[in-house]
Amino acid sequence: MPSVSFIPVAALHLSLIGALQGYKWTYSGPDGEHHWSKHYPYCGGAFQSPIDIKSELLRFDPTLRPIEVQNYNLSPDEQLTLGNNGHALQISLPSKMHISSLRYRYSAAQLHFHWGSSSRIAGSEHMVNSKQYAAEMHVVHYNSDKYPNISSAVDKSDGLAVLGVLIEVGEFNPTFEQFLRFINGIKYRDQKVQVPGFNIRALLPARLDEYYRYDGSLTTPPCYPSVLWTVFRNTMTVSQKQFNALATALYSSSAQESATIPLHSNYRKAQLVDSRIVLASFKEGRGLHGTLTVTSPHTRKQIIQQLLVGDLADLADEELYKLLPTGSQKLQAGRRKNLKNLERDDQTKPKQQMTSPSLRRKSSCFVGKLGLAGDTLRYSSLEQRVFHQLKESHRKNQLVEALRDAVYPELNLKSYMDCKSHLALPTVRQILCGRPTDEALELERSLTKAWMNQRETSVANKQKSHVTKYGSISKPPSQGYPHPWLLPMEWED
């Protein structure tokens, strides 16, 4: 998701951060998306966007309210800045425009587009059941209740909210034409023109009560996982002529460069799901019959409380089954055998080695502090801290993995408590790090073994089964349980 606004300070181009660091990025070639993480480590991290919104990821959430937007109908007397930032066509927006139906007030900063090409029309970033649309519009908002401008909000875990609109080629769109007619004034990178204000609401679907919701990231560098995504179920249409104008008129190169580089196909490919689920505000129709309703937030809080302060033996006997898939007996039998082997191996170890909290923390706790109190993560400062620690140990090349290890449990827990992800293994292990008890140690050791087995399986079957680094499976089990890694534990009191 490109992130430039041409309003000074308040709508800072999000990828200006990278520009100040001198790092060039593109969508293909040697600076393409597969290389982004070299200079922007979060691009290789957790909870990335866009994703393929598949039916099996969906959970119906009856508490999702219709999206309410305010002050979206702008007067022609208001001047907006239309620009070409080298990555997308973008329009600056006044902060009086805002979303009023979320937990915080999110004020508008800018909107921009991603699109395909005249030869391959498909160019949306999000897909629905693997269908890619012609283009996609993102209306970017920042949390103005907590942060003074978008540059302050961009690297905070609750900083941004983006409305995504999928675009199809179809009927002529008169509102789209309001700014498209000025496109020849921004043919080259860094060019911008003033355009009269218009009704931005008319660019959104008529129905704002049907949408998909999940926790994700910027879709361009620096890829901070700071976005609350709302992708509308219903699409917007533009005519074939309008799409061709968008896809052929712009260049990603500047007017001073001798070689002109066309600006098209400016979309990031779908990212790993990372234990996330996608909430749907609607239940009926389009393959959503029988969609599971999200787990009760009360149940989720009970599970976390039990992991934090409860009797882990009781939890293992009575509660953890709520996290388990209904896998085959053969799979579970194999896992139990692995756990028994682990127990047998542990009997040969010195007792101090088995029970030392310091050893356990060294092996299983991640960099950073688990945000159980709902603290807001600041990604830029976390990156600096992790990089400094790795630099001291001469492991700077492990920054992407270390950052992911540091941030994943916190993101997963936050998203889990908001019903937008499943509780994943690294998060459970991180919570257990704070419990220096024999039961916590035994459970953590078993989880470690299960995690190692899962990672070995992941490496062996990555292309075939789409298993992520953390053991999360892109296609959840048929009955909606999240993970095959955690089995009912048997305890001896």
Task: Quickly count: other Cβ atoms within 10 Å of residue 230's Cβ.
Answer: 24
Please confirm, yes or no, whether 264 is among the known catalytic residues: no
For residue 488, give Cα distances in angstroms to 52, 312, 339.
32, 12, 11
Backbone phi, then psi, for 146, in 5-degree steps? -115, -25
Q: Could you tell me which residues are beta bridge partners of residue 193?
A: 82
Q: Which of 87, 112, 126, 422 is catalytic?
A: 87
- Cα separation, 147 vs 150, in Å, equals 7
Residues 6 or more apart in contact with residue 219 via CB below 8 angstroms: 1, 2, 49, 50, 114, 125, 138, 267, 268
Asked if residues 38 and 256 have their Cβ atoms less than 8 Å apart, the reply is no
Identity of the amino acid at 456: E
Peptide bond into 50 cis (omega under 30): yes
Residue 462 · residue 312 · CB < 8 Å: no
Bond preceding residue 222 cis, omega within 30 of 0: yes
Rounded Cα distance between 167 and 175, Å, is 13
The whole-angstrom separation of Cα 227 and Cα 135 is: 20
DSSP β-ladder status, 160-169 and 227-232: parallel
Neighbours of 196 (CB within 10 A): 14
Q: How far is CA 302 from CA 130, 330, 417, in A?
A: 36, 30, 11
Residues with active-site annotation:
87
